[in-house]
Amino acid sequence: MDKYVMLMIARDVQPFSMVEDDGFRNLMQHMDPKYKMPSRTFFREVMLPKIYKDLRKDLECELEGVQYVAITTDGWTSRANKAFITVSCHYVNKQFQLITAVLSTASLLTPTNHSAMNIADTIRQVLNEWKLLHKVVTIVTDNDATMKKACEHFQIKHFPCFAHTINLLVQEILKLEIIRPILTKCKTVVAFMKRSSTAMAKFKDAQMVTPPLGLIQEVPIRWNSAFQMMERILQTNEALSIALLGTAKAPAPFSAEEIGVLEELCSLLRTFEKATKLISGGKYPTMSLVIPIVCEMQSQVFSYKDSFKSPEAILAFNFLSERYNDRFGHYETRTVPRMATLIDPRFKKQGFQRTNNADQAYRALEDELHNVFKNLTQEPSTSASIAPTPPNPTSSFFTNLQLKISSRTTTTRSDAIILLRQHVESGNEPETCDPLNFWMLCSNNMQPFKELKKNSFVFQPRRVNQREPLTKQAK
């Protein structure tokens, strides 16, 4: 019982003091009259360390069997104005499931020093405690210059958070002078509605739906909250106008011209909202989505080029056109997202915007597979000639042909070329395909890839003497 009460406190982020609340104690007494509720001190100083120790031991055992992990890390400040840094690891387990585990949330080694070296030393200490430093293949952080510099000390591939990059670009758009007046009015109207209980009651009554929708206020650190605020105003504008007109000292309702501006701005930003949600998933791989998302965002956003009429939307679009390549153009030239896109059965070469980038990724992956074949110690050497098997005269008329086939030589380079071509030239999987599940099925059917080390991809080459075509299920 103590354990489950502690787990409830942890999972629901409840204060320890709840175990001393009369209502909770009465509930537990009714559930089990024999159970005596311990004090908050017992849960904080005895149960919490015990459960943490057990969970940490389980995680350490699982991480021992993991070859490669990716790391995400970020610094943040609590409401008590205390600085922390969180380090999380991400890996694929033996069941081909993507697992995320928080390794540490703690202060920097020197809390008063936020330099790149101090951040790097703090991260290194965490990774050494978990014996993961040599397993890390990629570190993901935000675009902060200090975090980037800290990652340089590890000599490990660094990847700037794609969702944060989207946030930076959209925040620049929202800060344009011509956009500020309409955003300010939206925030003013929402703030008034949240302050006035009379206006909010009229607003809900005017919607004539159950349950009625509420308004969303912008949060400065989350750009999509501004989009959600504008979109909710558009959804409830009729009821909102009734409430504002019927309430004393209320701001003026939105005019038809202002509604037109909001509609155009929302159509411009909606693609970025969808991309942010898609790339923020924690249960599926997201690295292979980066390049296809960049291509799709550009295609969708630029399709609105001739449809905007308001000066606000036109200027926002022009600014976006100028800054788009600066923010997103480099992703297709990075090794990690390149190879991830090529490996993903949904995208392959078709996920790239530029053919030459797809070709460079193809050559890099071919070299990677070539090195894997060379380093496979458990497989027989593929570069040496295979000793010919004496043909059985009674089993085949073409004994000379069989002798030539059995004595032919293969190379690791040709094996890599054949294997990669087989993957790339087969049909693309549908958008709903789970790439991890796809490769799990492939490993069960033909063992296509598994030992590909670089860039945190999990591949296993086939045995070189198995050259039968892919089965329908494996495809």
How many structural domains compose the chain? 4
Q: What is the pLDDT of residues 128-150, one digit of tens each?
A: 999 999 999 999 999 888 888 88
Q: How many CB atoms lie within 10 A of CB 60?
A: 13
Q: How many CB atoms lie within 10 A of CB 447?
A: 15
CA torsion 357-358-364-370 (nearest 10°) is: -160
Tokens of 407: 């004595």
Look at residue 473 in the predicted model and tell me its pLDDT: 43
Token pair recorded at residue 23: 């209502």
| Cα 97–chain centre separation | 14
197 shares its domain with 306:
yes
253 and 352 co-located in one domain = no
Helical H segments across 77-161, by residue range:
116-129, 145-152
Helical (H) or strand (E) element with 429? none
User: Residue 298 contacts by C-beta under 8 Å, 6 or more apart in sequence?
Assistant: 324, 328, 353
Indicate whether 313 and 386 sit together in one domain.
no
Same-domain status, 178 and 302:
yes
Question: Torsion angle of alpha carbons 442, 446, 452, 458, nearest 10°?
Answer: 20
Rounded Cα distance between 405 and 67, Å, is: 38
Residues 173 and 249 reside in one and the same domain = yes
At 144 the three-state DSSP class reads coil
What is the residue range of 349's domain? 337-456
In a domain, 245, yes or no: yes
> Which amino acid appears at position 53 of this protein?
K
Residues 328 and 213 in one domain: yes
Whether residues 75 and 224 share a domain: the answer is: no
Burial 322-344 (b: 16+ CB within 10 A, else e): eebeebbeebbebbbbbbbbbbb
Element containing residue 242 per DSSP (H, E) = helix 237-245
Let me know if residue 273 belongs to a domain.
yes
Of 12, 39, 63, the one marking the end of a domain is 63
Question: What is the reported pLDDT for 467?
Answer: 34
Find, among 443, 460, 469, the residue nearest to 378 by Cα: 460
Angle, nearest 10°, between helix axes 145-152 and 116-129? 50
Same domain, yes or no: 192 and 178: yes
Half-sphere exposure (Cβ direction) of 90: Cα atoms closer than 13 Å = 19
Q: Which residue has the tokens 């660094």?
A: 158
The pairing of strands 98-106 and 136-141 is unpaired
Residue-by-residue pLDDT tens, the chain, 475 positions:
999 999 999 999 999 999 999 999 999 999 999 999 999 999 999 999 999 999 999 999 999 999 999 999 998 888 888 889 999 999 998 888 999 999 999 898 888 888 889 999 999 999 999 999 999 999 999 988 888 888 888 888 889 999 999 999 999 999 999 999 999 999 999 999 999 999 999 999 999 888 899 999 988 778 889 999 999 999 999 999 999 999 999 999 999 999 999 999 999 999 999 999 999 888 899 999 999 999 999 999 888 888 889 999 999 999 999 999 999 989 999 988 999 999 999 999 999 989 999 999 999 888 888 888 887 744 544 444 444 455 555 566 777 777 777 766 667 788 888 888 888 888 899 998 999 989 888 876 544 444 443 333 433 333 333 333 444 443 4
Name which of 139, 80, 141, 147 is nearest 114 in CA terms.
Answer: 147
In this prediction, residue 272 carries a pLDDT of 94
What SS3 class is residue 249? Answer: coil
Does residue 116 sit within a domain?
yes
To which H or E segment does residue 374 belong? helix 355-375
Q: Are residues 436 and 310 in the same domain?
A: no
3 state SS of 157? strand
Asked if 296 and 319 sit in the same domain, the reply is: yes
Cis peptide before 253 (omega within 30 of 0): no
- CATH at residue 104: 3.30.420.40
Domain closes at, from 160, 188, 207:
160
Residue 38 lies in a domain: yes
- Specify if 462 maps to a domain: no
Closest C-alpha to 6, from 44, 36, 32: 44
Tens-digit pLDDT profile for residues 209-268: 888 999 999 887 788 899 999 999 999 999 999 999 999 999 999 999 999 999 999 999
Please report how many Cα atoms fall inside a 13 Å half-sphere around the Cα of residue 459, on the Cβ side: 30
Q: How many residues does the chain have?
A: 475
Domain match, 142 and 90 both: yes
Instruction: Determine, yes or no, domain membership for 461.
Output: no
List the one residue out of 353, 258, 347, 338 whose CA is nearest residue 302: 353
DSSP state of 219: B
228 in a structural domain: yes
Residue 216 lies in a domain: yes
Q: Evaluate whether 285 touches 98 at the Cβ level (below 8 Å).
A: yes
Q: Are residues 37 and 170 in the same domain?
A: no
Q: How many CB atoms lie within 10 A of CB 294?
A: 26
